Amino acid sequence: MSKRRFTVNSPTGQKGLTLLELMVSIVLGLLVVAATLSVYVGHRNSYALVEGAGRVQENVRFAAEILSRELREAGGIACGGNLSPVYHGNVGTWGQGERGLVGNVLDAGGLPAPLPASLAGSDSVLIWSATGEKPFPIVSHDAAAGTFVLGPAAPGQTLNLGGVAVACDGARVFSFLPISANAANYSTVNAIITDDLRPGGFVAPLSAHLWFVGPRSNSAAGNALRRAVINHQGVVSQPDDVIDNVSGLRLSYLTTDNPTTYLSATDINAFPDGWKHVLAVRVELTVVSQDSVATTPTGAQQLSEAVPFTVTLRRRAP
């Protein structure tokens, strides 16, 4: 019996990779990985840029809405018009309330003290208004006794005995410090309101809010657009942060005396009663992104956007 041998032959042309071919394959693979990483990093940076820009714009819209609302109501009272003329009782620095607003340039002073910490080179503005809360209707007013009889206001509404109130009847406006006699009657500190106010008028609290840029209240890095309440004695409340990551606030003003050119607060202060003649305020708010969105030779950079907008004082619009 003959023995048959079986052999297995390698397929024709099948060979192992040479070292050169292996190195070329590795290099090509690394190039593909590098290109993929580059595309990924580019998309990630683009997403961070878009997200940062979106957050900046959202912050600006929010701040612009609140600040614009207060600026529009500067000098506002329940009886319409503005706070001029105002006959003041013993209200101290709140005699400026008839101006509606007073701006400040580069922390140059002139605002009630003590001022909170603020960012050097940034403007600020103090805004008065008596339209922030529902007013009390005047039922009757006894000038000789210095007493008002007031109708009901919103549930729980009271006059702040530590603040200033405004009384008006459509023709005249007075500010005074109220002291409560009972739930319905309020008397003035002195008898400066010598004329009887007609029924149909109103009594409302007069508020003052200081807007400025300063260090964030939570001790985190960066600055915020801040808002503080100031009472008639010049005491400043703990400011609230309206939006974070604000690097600048610039304000300029349009007046009836110069209706074509926006002026700085220094220019307005140069005119007697200049603040009474302000018609509009141009605001430029500079906001930066929370995180760095790009890397440059000088280091990581945040997105910065300066957004201008103009607000017309509603009570003084022609």
Q: How many Å from the N-terminal Cα to the C-terminal Cα in the chain?
A: 125
Which band of pLDDT confidence, cut at 50, 70 and 90, is reported for residue 148?
confident
* Beta strand pairing call for 164-168 and 202-215: antiparallel
- Residue range 78-93: mean pLDDT, rounded: 65
- Residue range 197-202: mean pLDDT, rounded: 80
| pLDDT, tens digit (0-9, with 9 covering 90-100), for 150-190 | 877 666 666 766 677 888 887 778 877 776 555 556 665 54
- Residue range 49-77: mean pLDDT, rounded: 79
Domain assignment present for 208: yes
Task: Identify the pLDDT of residue 196.
Answer: 74
Residue with the bigger pLDDT between 220 and 274: it is: 274
Domain assignment present for 247: yes
**CA separation for the pair 139, 148 (Å, rounded):** 8
Res. 11: pLDDT tops 80: no
Percentage helix, strand, coil, to 5, in the chain? 25, 35, 40
Task: Identify the pLDDT of residue 281.
Answer: 94
| pLDDT, tens digit (0-9, with 9 covering 90-100), for 240-272 | 888 888 888 999 999 988 888 999 988 998 887
CB atoms inside a 10 Å sphere around CB 18? 9
Q: Take residue 70 and report the two structure tokens written for it.
A: 């207060």
Tally of domains in the chain: 1
* Beta strand pairing call for 240-244 and 124-129: unpaired
Query: Of 26-30, 130-134, 147-151, 259-263, which one has max mean pLDDT?
Result: 259-263
Res. 298: pLDDT tops 50: yes
Q: Take residue 244 and report the two structure tokens written for it.
A: 């974070």
Task: Identify the pLDDT of residue 179.
Answer: 64
Res. 47: pLDDT tops 60: yes
Nearest alpha-carbon partner for 53 in 309, 303, 284 = 303
Which band of pLDDT confidence, cut at 50, 70 and 90, is reported for residue 200?
confident
Domain assignment present for 136: yes
Domain assignment present for 311: yes
Domain assignment present for 151: yes
* Beta strand pairing call for 87-88 and 173-176: parallel
Burial class (CB in 10 A: 0-12, 13-18, 19+), 111: buried
Which band of pLDDT confidence, cut at 50, 70 and 90, is reported for residue 108?
very low
Task: Identify the pLDDT of residue 110.
Answer: 46
Domain assignment present for 13: no
Range of the domain at 72: 52-316
| pLDDT, tens digit (0-9, with 9 covering 90-100), for 208-226 | 888 998 888 877 778 889 9
Res. 191: pLDDT tops 50: no
Task: Identify the pLDDT of residue 250.
Answer: 92
Task: Identify the pLDDT of residue 282.
Answer: 95
Task: Identify the pLDDT of residue 109.
Answer: 45
Res. 42: pLDDT tops 60: yes
Task: Identify the pLDDT of residue 280.
Answer: 93
Q: What angle do CA 156, 233, 152 make, to 5 degrees?
A: 20
Taking CA atoms, 286 is separated from 122, 200, 259, in Å, by 10, 45, 26
Task: Identify the pLDDT of residue 162.
Answer: 62
Domain assignment present for 77: yes
